[in-house]
Structure 1
């Protein structure tokens, strides 16, 4: 089988800027890395060369898994910069009456050249292009926008303009996830169940978090004081096997039981509310229990306490008593944490503070729950 020297695709051509040719077309995903080079950023003795960051293998792997998961919708366009070595032949024929002619259709011819000498460079979509080259379906159709310019300064300018746009707020994505019924990449799918449980905790009157959780769709409700991102992160931790408090209700080979998860969350967090009545429901500036650090640390403590409560004849009582034992040693609204040396309001939502506070609470629980001789 003879390997073709050129890739020929149907395309639409228009102009932008100072007469710059711009093309819109589709091609097979596996062809992207055959026609385009990736201009990696590096520095020689004098100047900075290229502009693209290194391959992010975890990102590429996640996209490949998504593409290989079944029939998927993936309409994200790749942006290429072309050298003038490509050719375009306008299609002939009658035009429909009333046609809004923004561009002209025709055939775009792109030479296949060896790496380092190709006629195109990837400006936006490097990780997606690498993933498409590795996907099982090599003929996955991909939309492409290409502009003609050899000038690497123009490439860099477009790269910066595309990537400086603020990414979607994680909180907005998390709130939308439960409303999305389609297949999702692993990193997003992992947040869907925790986000739905967060919704239930915020909406149900029996929940200790009723109307206390601040979601992206809130319009300034002063009652909403708990950061949803912190609670979702805590629930994700509770779902991790084998010791996560909710992992027993999430069996890979069977359907998960979100109702049981919800009831376990209600049991534990109601006991937290009742164990710390003076700290519950206050703004994070007045109570570090409601701060992201407090929510994350108490969420970590849930795994340890619920593991013990699940083997008890009276789980509700076990959880309540465990929290009442540690309550006198906690400084959510005033005082200094013994063993940590922190003033109550010095606790911050950093990974270091969250980890140290969680470890401290778990050590307290283990020490105070030992039977007295």
Structure 2
């Protein structure tokens, strides 16, 4: 018996329509064909720190649960897989007369989808990667499932749709935050656009050659490593606090009534301040939070508030780094980042935790300490 010939093209019945300028197809495919025609673009960064892809890693337990359901006779699979597909895909309209329908602008036909090697496929999974993986692993891979396809080559459009589709699902906020700066769509809701600038600045702090935090910030796209000592959540919260504080060091660079602004000046201010922090507290710098509360989420937040307080006293942006360093030197001896205790708090250095109460307490202690020093 001759082995079954590998498919070169998947031909599926489809309905073609349009949404704005984008062509949309509704089709049905066997689960076994999905990973033959579509790639999964994983979220990662290349050698130049450029963001690639958008999909999170496989959730094995979830995939296995779906596969087990299918193996045990489950045949109801109504949730559509969403694919982005290159615009060169061939669609062949049905011949013959058109029946009268109440839904206009929809054409019946057949979709011709080429089967290519991994990484070279003509489609990408936007929503449903866990279900697609489960279908491929199941003993019932021939189950036909609904598939919605939209034409685009733009990774930005794919990311935008990925975020919008997953907003109502428990998608990790850190994953969304890292994707937002790379999403150039204009249809994102306001609550997401307000998060673009902080995440963009966080990316820059982690990659800019002059940033003291370069390589120290852990983001969703990066594998765990000894060099990552600060979570991006801590940095994002610090930036947001400064942007939302009317007197914040970064707020002055925001555009009035807008969520954009002078990003380069914001970044320079952050680089100058945290370079001064590194210079002032070298023994506490780049150490795990368990060894240094300066790199702890509470320390990052408190120092961010102190940055706002110090920046408010600056009369010029020239020699900003030197100004920050001189002001931080005033409180250097009274800080307990790696040993000793915070005298005004009556707390040992390692008793500070990442709770709203401790963050507020440490922030107030630093600001009050600084206020006392500048009065002398």
> TM-score category by the smaller chain?
0.5 to 0.7
Q: 1:166 offset after TM fit, Å? A: 7.5
Q: Deviations for 1:122-169, whole angstroms, at most 9, x for unmatched residues?
A: xxxxxxxxxxxxxxxxxxxxxxxxxxxxxxxxxxxxxxxxxxx97112
Aligned counterparts, 1:314-325, within 5 A: 314-325=319-330
| Aligned 8 A contact 1:212 1:281 in 2 | yes
| Aligned 8 A contact 1:312 1:318 in 2 | no
Query: What is the rounded CA distance, in whole Å, between the counterparts of 1:200 and 1:178 in structure 2?
Result: 11
Indicate the residue corresponding to 2:193 in structure 1. 189
Shift in CA distance, 97/360, structure 1 to aligned 2, threshold 3 Å: closer
Q: Which runs of 5+ in 1 are unaligned?
A: 1-11, 26-94, 105-164
- Give the one of 229, 246, 249 matched to 1:242: 246
Indicate the residue corresponding to 1:199 in structure 2. 203
Aligned counterparts, 1:1-373, within 5 A: 167-182=170-185, 183-252=187-256, 256-311=261-316, 314-370=319-375, 372=376
| Aligned 8 A contact 1:201 1:210 in 2 | yes
> TM-score, normalization: structure 1?
0.55
Query: What is the rounded CA distance, in whole Å, between the counterparts of 1:357 and 1:178 in structure 2?
Result: 31
Shift in CA distance, 18/230, structure 1 to aligned 2, threshold 3 Å: same
Query: What is the rounded CA distance, in whole Å, between the counterparts of 1:246 and 1:307 in structure 2?
Result: 11
> TM-score, normalization: structure 2?
0.55
Query: What is the rounded CA distance, in whole Å, between the counterparts of 2:350 and 2:369 in structure 1?
Result: 20
Shift in CA distance, 19/313, structure 1 to aligned 2, threshold 3 Å: closer
Shift in CA distance, 333/23, structure 1 to aligned 2, threshold 3 Å: closer
Which is worse superposed, 350-359 or 181-190?
181-190
Q: 1:328 offset after TM fit, Å? A: 0.5
Q: How much is the aligned-residue C-alpha RMSD, in angstroms?
A: 3.6
| Aligned 8 A contact 2:77 2:145 in 1 | no
Equivalent residue of 2:329, what SS? helix
Equivalent residue of 1:278, what SS? helix
Q: 1:241 offset after TM fit, Å? A: 4.5
Shift in CA distance, 18/222, structure 1 to aligned 2, threshold 3 Å: closer
Query: What is the rounded CA distance, in whole Å, between the counterparts of 1:227 and 1:96 in structure 2?
Result: 50
Which is worse superposed, 206-215 or 312-321?
312-321
Q: Which runs of 5+ in 2 are unaligned?
A: 1-27, 29-69, 81-107, 112-141, 147-167
Q: 1:358 offset after TM fit, Å? A: 0.3
User: What number of residue pairs does the alignment pair up?
Assistant: 232
Shift in CA distance, 19/336, structure 1 to aligned 2, threshold 3 Å: closer
Equivalent residue of 2:284, what SS? coil
